[in-house]
Amino acid sequence: MSEGVILPGATLGVLGGGQLGRMFVHAAQAMGYFTAVLDPDADSPAGLVSHHHIRTGYDDPQGLAALAQACAAVTTEFENVPAAALDTLARSLPVSPAGSAVAIAQDRAREKAHFVQCGVPVAPHAVIETPAQLAALDAALLPGILKTARLGYDGKGQARVRTPGELAAAWEQLGRVPCVLEQMLPLAHECSVIVARGRDGTVVHLPVQRNLHRGGILAVTEVYEGNLPPALSSQALAAAKSVADGLQYVGVLCVEFFVLQDGRLVVNEIAPRPHNSGHYSQDACDVSQFALQVRCMAGLPLTPPRQHSPAIMLNLLGDLWFAHGGDAPASPAWDRVLALPGCHLHLYGKTQPKRGRKMGHLNVTGSTAEQVRATALQAADILGIEAF
């Protein structure tokens, strides 16, 4: 056995009890590990299915001590976990990703600086932390998107601005917190790459994923041969690997990109964890992103994942429970969806559907991209999801 390898039978821990934690727990348990979740919510999706659920805040010293005592290694399932909590845990057991990497992902200004340092292309941008920086801003960056440097996700903490006046008003509305202004670029579409990097620097990746966002939330991911030009896919993979290597990253990392109308690729942001756009790997690949997460933290070998089926992932938001037009939620017609070939339903165990809330996802697989797309459009029509 290699030094530092944590074999099945040990307990693996995760900070965060959301759906990504739930799917990590399922993957770890399938490989024979016991699991522990630290999350304050008694009904957290991951806590409900884990062997151990430590119900404390993420920065609670006693909770962190209990997690460290119970586990052989720890990971995180969301990027806004306090980086200091990861640093505390790292003093007594392996933690992946490291607090230093998560801290960079939590701050758009530091994140952009890291991209530049790694030599990967980014949108023209400026950091705004003071009225003087706002006043000195280059008007060529407008129209743009103003984003809070911290605690923004799924389109939250953002404002589109066209003029200096709109920019000043938006910064005021966001509370004058540190922000990044990004020049608005003519987008053709978006894509992402999931990479897994081991302690020894080995990097493997899933295929490049083509993504469609609606209202700032991922709606559809398409992954099959020809979903993107091969040269663009190669560039995205190289950039993602450079970003991961530059962070000395250990774990699963998603790197999100914009594809511009002129064919250029720019890095948008990173997520230091598994990502919605990698969910298709549960049913279309021989190693899922969650199995890769387990392998990284346990020091197990990273074998390159193989996609065996073309796939489309549909994000299932709480809006679907209200598609009938009433105020009370009603379960979507899962029976009709599951009558379609190659449909794999993943629901997250959340009892209260709310509009905009991620309730699950549907993976559609088949023998050809055309077949998968036709089936996915049928499923979307049944569920009331806008065609794509």
- The answer, yes or no, to whether the previous bond of 301 is cis (omega within 30 of 0) is no
Interval 347-380: pLDDT, tens: 999 989 999 999 999 999 999 999 999 999 999 9
Give me the DSSP letters along 322-380.
GTTS-SS-----HHHHHTSTTEEEEE---SS--TT-EEEEEEEE-SSHHHHHHHHHHHH
Radius of gyration of the chain (CA): 21
pLDDT of residue 157: 84
Interval 217-255: pLDDT, tens: 999 999 999 999 999 999 999 999 999 999 999 999 999
Interval 363-372: pLDDT, tens: 999 999 999 9
Interval 280-331: pLDDT, tens: 999 999 999 999 999 999 999 999 999 999 999 999 999 999 987 878 999 9
pLDDT of residue 325: 80
Interval 123-151: pLDDT, tens: 999 999 999 999 999 999 999 999 999 97
The architecture of the domain spanning 187-383 is 2-Layer Sandwich (3.30)
Of the candidates 250, 249, 267, the one whose C-alpha atom is nearest the C-alpha of residue 258 is 267
| CATH class as words, domain 11-95 | alpha beta
Topology (CATH) of 124-183: Dna Ligase; domain 1 (3.30.1490)
Q: What is the 3-state secondary structure (H, E, C) of 210-226?
A: EEEEECCEEEEEEECCC
Residue 135: enclosing H or E segment and its boundaries?
helix 131-135
Q: Record the tokens describing residue 247, joined without a space.
A: 């962070």
pLDDT of residue 154: 60
* Domain boundaries defined on the chain: 11-95, 124-183, 187-383
pLDDT of residue 2: 66
Question: By three-state DSSP, how is residue 36 classified?
Answer: strand
